[in-house]
Amino acid sequence: MLDKTTALHLSNRLGFGPAPGDLARIADAGLDNYIQAQLHPQTASLPHNVTSMLRSLPSFGKDTGALYAEYWWRAQVPDPKALAPEEKKKLKRREKQVLREAQNARLARAIISPWQLHEALVEFWFNHFNVYEKKGADKIWVGAYEEEAIRPHTLGRFSDMLLATARHPAMLVYLDNAKNVAPAAAGKADEMNSDADPKKKKKKKESGINENYAREVMELHTLGVDGGYTQGDVISLAHILTGWTVGSGGEADAADAAKLYKRDKGSFHFARRKHDPAQETLLGRSFGGEDVNEGEQALLMLAAHPATAHHISYQLAQYFVADKPDGPLVEAMAKTFRTSGGDIRAVMGTMLTNPAFLASSNVGTKYKTPYRYVVSAARAAGIAPDNRTVAALSRALMDLGQPLYGCITPDGYACTQTAWLDPDGLLHRISFATELGNGAYSGYASNGDLDPPDPDRIAEAVGPALSKQTRAAIEATQRGSRAGAILGSPDFMRC
């Protein structure tokens, strides 16, 4: 039988904090059993109300090709410019709905799934391999990206996730590799068109090396900024990855792009003629060849690089243990990463059984990100996620400065106190907490009134999270304000 403080720590760090009854359940399970269960999630098994909610979302579970055909109207309508304004508005609304459904699917599972570690890792890895919903067709693809490239690999092999993200249309569009094309192919196109009219020539010229993905995959996804690569390596990798693109668009003006690639509409497409087969040197090793295997080998080399082991371990430890994780902890994790061939479950196991994980200096010391704050508040208040409530929580995340799928930069959202603790954001959280306490995010009672959460049940749910002083101040206040006071207290800002 585990003490409640340790149970709270497990709930806070292996997930998004306790829902009513969780602390007792974790205490009963015990430390090792709980960690092992979380390391082996049965993600297909979810509470009935969530599976039926997910089933109710028309776009959920569709692959990028299907989404493209169904929702990316710019490429489907013969002449988008000729559409009546009313018609266009309808199509845009329908398209926007895909993003909303992705947000709902994510938040509902984060709030209610018993596989909390898996859900935390979904957030972690999505940020690690961030894509942004406002770039081209990513508007309709962020959800599919998460389902196809992130969720299957949260506790799997790092290299599998790296390859899955690298060839995913959402990433190819976000970091421009979809437009990274061999200079020779560009040159040929120019020659062919040298007599053509200047307008046409300009269009053909839109092909050539684009370094964006090649740089970020080394700086952010694998080696880290101090990982020992040079500008020359960036250029080499860009050449190696030429031709990795998306069939028929995914670009900002897909109607135009639809004419370029007829095959693999809205899916990964290797454009052999746009690929540079020349030999390139990347981190001292030579690469070349005419197919997709060249790029895969290069990415596998990056995944297996010792700098990657360190970089990933540091980031995991920062997310799960401390803003500035201990060197020995990170080194132990990096060692597991190296010896296990990048087995994320093994690395997580090393982290969770390291004494640093339970050290008192690392308990209750992380300042919650807005995402963690909102999800933990919804859990503590026992909010039953339905489409209406999670949509409202999604808007709250925007107000708190962390819109879901809305991080524009490829480094994703930070998870540290330095990044998020500021006076204005804190006041926003407090006003969110008081609204939640007043029932703004709950369902309705049978008489049609708002049904605010029960403050005693919340206080019980979060248990030792509240200090004695906070409990005293809350008990001294009128009952109607207590739920908001608990969730808006300084104690609940930390985990």
Partner 1 sequence: MFRREFLKFSAAAGGISFASFGRSAWAVQNRAAGHERLVVVFLRGAVDGLNVVVPYSEQEYYELRPTIAIPRPAQNGGALDLDGRFGLHPALGSLMPAWKEKSLAFVHASGSPDESRSHFEAQANMETGTPGMHATQDGWMNRVLAALPGKHAPTEAVNFGKTTPRILEGIMPVASISTRGQYGGGKEMMSAPGLDAPTAALFDRLYAGSDPISVAYREGRAAQTQLASDLSRDMMEAANGAPSARGFPEDAAKLCQLMRRDPTIQLAFFGLSGWDTHVREGATEGQLANHLKPLGEGLAQLRSGLGDTYGHTVILVISEFGRTARENGNGGTDHGHGNAMWVMGGPVSGGKVYGQWPGLDEDNLHEQRDLAVTTDFRTVIAGVLTRHLKLDAPQIASVFPGAPAGAKVEVLRA
Which residues are at the interface with partner 1 (CB under 8 A)? 176, 179, 181, 183, 186, 202, 205-212, 215, 219, 225, 231, 252, 367, 399-401, 408-409, 411, 417-428, 430-431, 434, 470, 473, 477, 481, 484-485, 488-490, 493-494
Which is closer to partner 1, CB of 3 or CB of 411?
411
Which is closer to partner 1, CB of 225 or CB of 445?
225
Which is closer to partner 1, CB of 76 or CB of 431?
431
Distance CA 144, CA 65 (A): 10
Which amino acid is present at 311? H
* Shortest Cβ 132–partner 1 spacing (Å): 11
* Shortest Cβ 384–partner 1 spacing (Å): 26
Distance CA 455, CA 147 (A): 36
What angle, 0 to 180 degrees and rounded to 10, lies between the N-to-C axes of helices 116-128 and 85-112?
130
286 SS3 class: strand
Of 155, 149, 181, nearest to 167 by C-alpha is: 149
* Shortest Cβ 216–partner 1 spacing (Å): 9
* Shortest Cβ 345–partner 1 spacing (Å): 29
* Shortest Cβ 7–partner 1 spacing (Å): 23
Of 152, 146, 153, 136, nearest to 168 by C-alpha is: 146
* Shortest Cβ 369–partner 1 spacing (Å): 11
Q: Is the dihedral of CA 243, 246, 249, 253 positive or negative?
A: negative
- The structure tokens 């060197």 sit at 327
Which is closer to partner 1, CB of 206 or CB of 386?
206
- Write phi, then psi, for 444 (nearest 5 degrees): -105, 145
Which is closer to partner 1, CB of 160 or CB of 206?
206
Which is closer to partner 1, CB of 5 or CB of 481?
481
Which is closer to partner 1, CB of 89 or CB of 205?
205
* Shortest Cβ 188–partner 1 spacing (Å): 13
Q: Dihedral through CA 321, CA 366, CA 100, CA 439, nearest 10?
A: 140
Which is closer to partner 1, CB of 100 or CB of 204?
204
Q: Name, in order, each residue with C-beta under 8 angstroms of 109's C-beta and a sequence gap of 6 or more.
A: 46, 50, 54, 119, 122
* Shortest Cβ 477–partner 1 spacing (Å): 5
Which is closer to partner 1, CB of 3 or CB of 422?
422
* Shortest Cβ 487–partner 1 spacing (Å): 11
* Shortest Cβ 235–partner 1 spacing (Å): 10
Which is closer to partner 1, CB of 443 or CB of 490?
490
User: Are the beta carbons of 203 and 179 closer than 8 angstroms?
Assistant: no
User: Are the beta carbons of 482 and 437 closer than 8 angstroms?
Assistant: yes
The full DSSP string for 46-101 is --HHHHHHHHT-TTTT--HHHHHHHH-HHHHSS-GGGS-HHHHHHHHHHHHHHHHH
CA distances from 492 to 377, 429, 489 (A): 8, 11, 5
Of 221, 220, 239, nearest to 282 by C-alpha is: 239
Residue positions counted in the chain? 495
Of 109, 288, 284, 273, nearest to 186 by C-alpha is: 273
